[in-house]
Amino acid sequence: MLIRRPPDLLPSEITPEPLARGRRALLKGLGAGAALAGLGLPQISQAGSLGTLRPSPLSSDEKLTPLKSVTGYNNFYEFGTDKEDPARHAPGRLKTQPWTVTVEGEIKRPRTFSIDDLLKLAPLEERIYRMRCVEGWSMVIPWVGFPLAELIRQVEPNGQARFVEFVTLADPQQMPGVRSPLLDWPYVEGLRLDEAQHPLTLLAVGLYGEVLPAQNGAPIRLVVPWKYGFKSAKSIVRIRFVREQPRSTWMKAGPSEYGFYSNVNPAVDHPRWSQATERRIGEFIKRKTLPFNGYADQVAGLYSGMDLRRFF
């Protein structure tokens, strides 16, 4: 798939320096009912889609990014560093059944969840979120999922839990990018506990009303819309509640460029380019980047009194 880019699109908007140094294929060959049954959704698999979804008052009312762009132009370095690599390599390679997510650490009820278990925690709903990449491009995506807070409630963090660490699949047999030493695998991300419990923080199992495609982080991924996209870990296999701030993959790869918080802050430039504007995929004219990606009214209070230039 060829996606045209404006002539002034800089390399800095495309590939982070650590990687520079060193089509869409949505469940082809599977019927929609079979795909959903494989995801463990017996109550809706017969309908051939994710069914009628509860709309969320947290949703944006902006124009959606076309499905072909959402599924064909993204970052998933386990399948390659090119934006089109995930769509080329993930479908047919990534095996999502059986799949479990182990939840452990500073909690009262450690547990290993199957996908079926997770989908029983809360009703699925559609949330239309703005998503902004640190590289300078953005999308508006209709995710399907449930609040991470519902899982957190089930496992009951104890008084020592301050952060939540997310560990993703790293299987070189399925993921050709994992054979490369460009990043320290597996991919690790983290949130402060109150960030993880925020109503906007989503565990997504689908998009556009359909089961989540392999290239978008199937079968379950994190979505944190007020942070840069790399915070939203894909294909999660382990969630750990910890006392100390996790050291995430991009913090290790480029500590001067990728901080733990990674909130969208147009007032703080990336060391190699400005974050003041962004290019919405499908548009040629850049738009002004909004603080917290437009979610300041909901989340700014989480960072009251913090120096967001220091804690970037």
Structure tokens at 209: 């009303």
Is 232 annotated to bind a ligand? Reply is yes
SS3 43: helix
Is 77 annotated to bind a ligand? Reply is yes
Is 280 annotated to bind a ligand? Reply is no
| Selection from 21, 39, 58 nearest residue 201 by Cα | 58
Is 120 annotated to bind a ligand? Reply is no
pLDDT tens digits along 271-307? 899 999 999 999 999 999 999 999 999 999 999 999 9
pLDDT tens digits along 11-70? 434 445 444 443 233 223 223 333 333 333 323 232 236 777 878 999 999 999 999 999
- Contact yes or no for 201/164 (Cβ under 8 A): no
- What's the CATH code of the domain at 279? 3.90.420.10
Q: How far apart are CA 241 and CA 186, in angstroms?
A: 17
Is 158 annotated to bind a ligand? Reply is no
Residue 267 belongs to a domain: yes
Residue 289 belongs to a domain: yes
Q: What is the pTM of this model?
A: 0.85
Is 234 annotated to bind a ligand? Reply is yes
Total structural domains within the chain: 1
In the chain, what percentage of residues exceed pLDDT 90? Answer: 80
Is 216 annotated to bind a ligand? Reply is yes
Residue 111 belongs to a domain: yes
Residue 258 belongs to a domain: yes
Is 221 annotated to bind a ligand? Reply is yes
Residue 238 belongs to a domain: yes
Q: What is the pLDDT of residue 13?
A: 44
Q: How far apart are CA 7 and CA 14, in angstroms?
A: 13
Residue 138 belongs to domain spanning: 11-299
Residue 79 belongs to a domain: yes
Q: How far apart are CA 39 and CA 159, in angstroms?
A: 34
Residue 248 belongs to a domain: yes
* DSSP string for residues in 282-312: T-SS-EEPPGGGGTHHHHGGGGTT--TTT--
Is 267 annotated to bind a ligand? Reply is no
Is 208 annotated to bind a ligand? Reply is no
Residue 4 belongs to a domain: no
- Contact yes or no for 273/263 (Cβ under 8 A): no
The owner of tokens 């738009």 is 287
